[in-house]
């Protein structure tokens, strides 16, 4: 296994958790963040006291606010930023990458302005020949950071890169599966965030377990429908990056998107809920992007459509449920 440094771009909760997991492999890891004051605080504390305060950094995890220093001699680069910041981040790192650098990301969501998936944005900026991969699946940063048993999917355009990345990140309590279906893995990661807002709304309104499982199951149908229309494999949505991530995000209150739904059900506005959560809620922007992509492809996604209407058109959750339940009956 190569001992070349791994560069992790993005020092939020998820970037920090993945940097910790890669460091457990023994390889040197560099973690970069744009906030110099925060990075200095992390260096002094040897922990990310903002997001993962109880997890000390190992000696082979270095902290830096110098992007060029982070990337020098790095063979593998992991980008862990929100979807709305992916293009800007890739633009910044592109001229600093070595010719043989391989790039992966843990970003979930369509690009709002273009409707592109992360791998399409990456290929546009970095070229189609560079080895690339996406990491996704049912994972919470706090649990990965704490070293709790976890499984996820790595999909890549280069099978050797996927296998090496999986071997590096896997350990006693972490298992990575490989895939060639980047489209399916990325669609799953984008759509599940929208549906999790719906699950939070449903539970917050007291609709019960029957409603929750109906939303998850029919939401999975919508996710699969969109993914297949975009060129994904149907089987991918039965795996960790599809059903696995969807169920996790819809049922556990660690999910920011589920918490957004719970707060909306309690009468908060989107802005008030976002302020209370204090972290990026990807599903809010994803709802807008998913609606656009689905319309462009003529894909019917009634649950995602109603969640969009709640977020952006002022439709009440109960009215949205009435609309969904009143749709014409049809075969499953």
Domain ranges of the chain: 6-180, 183-325
Cα separations in angstroms, 222 against 125, 176, 252, 281: 30, 26, 21, 21
For domain 183-325, which architecture applies? Orthogonal Bundle (1.10)
Q: Give me the half-sphere count of Cα atoms (radius 13 Å) on the Cβ side of residue 216.
A: 22
Of 209 and 1, the structure prediction assigns the larger pLDDT to 209
Catalytic residue (one of 108, 192, 291, 292) = 192
Residue 108: predicted pLDDT: 95
Region 311-331 average pLDDT: 94
Instruction: Round to the nearest angstrom and report the end-to-end CA distance of the chain.
Output: 48
Distance CA 14, CA 99 (A): 27
Domains 6-180 and 183-325 share a fold: no
213 phi, psi to nearest 5 deg: -70, -30
Contact 67, 32 (CB under 8 A): yes
Cα separations in angstroms, 124 against 90, 116, 120, 267, 274: 10, 10, 6, 42, 31
Residue 2: predicted pLDDT: 59
Residue 292: predicted pLDDT: 96
Q: Is 192 a catalytic residue?
A: yes
96-134 burial: b if 16+ Cβ within 10 Å, else e: bbeeebbbbbbbbbbbeeebbbbbbbbbebbeeebbbbb
Region 35-52 average pLDDT: 96
Chain length of the chain: 332
Distance CA 130, CA 308 (A): 36
Q: 6-180, what's its fold?
A: Rossmann fold (3.40.50)
Q: Which two tokens stand for residue 258?
A: 């589920």
Distance CA 3, CA 5 (A): 6
Q: Is 64 helix (H, G, I), strand (E, B) or coil?
A: strand
The pLDDT confidence band at residue 280, using thresholds 50, 70 and 90, is confident
What pTM was computed for the model?
0.96
Average pLDDT of every residue of the chain: 96
Distance CA 187, CA 145 (A): 25
| DSSP-H helix ranges across the chain | 13-23, 36-45, 67-71, 86-93, 118-126, 141-145, 159-169, 182-204, 209-229, 245-251, 256-265, 270-277, 282-296, 302-312, 317-325
Q: Pairing between strand 150-156 and 132-136?
A: antiparallel
Which of these, 228, 200, 199, lies nearest to 214 by C-alpha position?
199
Region 80-85 average pLDDT: 95
Helix, strand, coil % in the chain, rounded to nearest 5? 55, 10, 35
Percent of the chain with pLDDT over 90: 97
Region 119-142 average pLDDT: 97
Q: Which two tokens stand for residue 304?
A: 């995602």
Residue 278: predicted pLDDT: 87
194 phi, psi to nearest 5 deg: -65, -45
Q: What is the tens place of the pLDDT at every residue in 218-267?
A: 999 999 999 999 999 999 999 999 999 999 999 999 999 999 999 999 99
Q: What is the tens place of the pLDDT at every residue in 138-170?
A: 999 999 999 999 999 999 999 999 999 999 999
Region 262-278 average pLDDT: 95
Q: What is the tens place of the pLDDT at every residue in 85-119?
A: 999 999 999 999 999 999 999 999 999 999 999 99
Region 196-207 average pLDDT: 97
């Amino acid at each position: 296994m190569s001992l070349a440094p791994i560069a992790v771009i993005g020092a939020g909760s998820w970037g920090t958790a993945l940097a910790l997991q890669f460091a457990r492999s023994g390889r040197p890891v560099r973690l970069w963040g744009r906030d110099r004051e925060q990075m200095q605080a992390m260096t002094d504390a040897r922990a990310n006291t903002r997001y993962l305060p109880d997890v000390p950094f190992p000696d082979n995890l270095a902290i830096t606010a110098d992007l060029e220093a982070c990337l020098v001699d790095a063979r593998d680069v992991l980008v862990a930023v929100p979807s709305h910041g992916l293009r800007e981040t890739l633009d910044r790192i592109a001229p600093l990458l070595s010719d043989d650098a391989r790039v992966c990301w843990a970003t979930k969501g369509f690009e709002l302005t273009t409707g592109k998936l992360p791998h399409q944005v990456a290929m546009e900026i970095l070229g189609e020949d560079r080895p690339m991969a996406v990491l996704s699946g049912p994972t919470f940063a706090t649990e990965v950071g704490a070293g709790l048993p976890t499984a996820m999917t790595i999909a890549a355009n280069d099978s050797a890169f996927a296998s090496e990345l999986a071997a590096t990140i896997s350990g006693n309590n972490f298992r990575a599966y490989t895939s060639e279906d980047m489209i399916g893995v990325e669609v799953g990661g984008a759509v599940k965030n929208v549906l999790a807002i719906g699950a939070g709304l449903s539970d917050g309104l007291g609709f019960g377990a029957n409603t929750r499982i109906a939303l998850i199951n029919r939401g999975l149908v919508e996710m699969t429908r969109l993914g297949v229309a975009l060129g994904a494999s149907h089987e991918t949505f039965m795996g960790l990056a599809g059903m696995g991530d969807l169920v996790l995000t819809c049922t556990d209150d660690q999910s920011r998107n589920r918490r957004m739904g719970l707060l909306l059900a309690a009468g908060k506005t989107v802005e008030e809920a976002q302020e209370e959560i204090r972290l990026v809620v990807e599903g809010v922007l994803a709802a807008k992007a998913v609606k656009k992509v689905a319309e462009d492809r003529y894909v019917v996604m009634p649950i995602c459509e109603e969640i969009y209407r709640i977020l952006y058109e002022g439709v009440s959750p109960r009215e949205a449920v009435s609309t969904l339940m009143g749709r014409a009956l049809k075969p499953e």
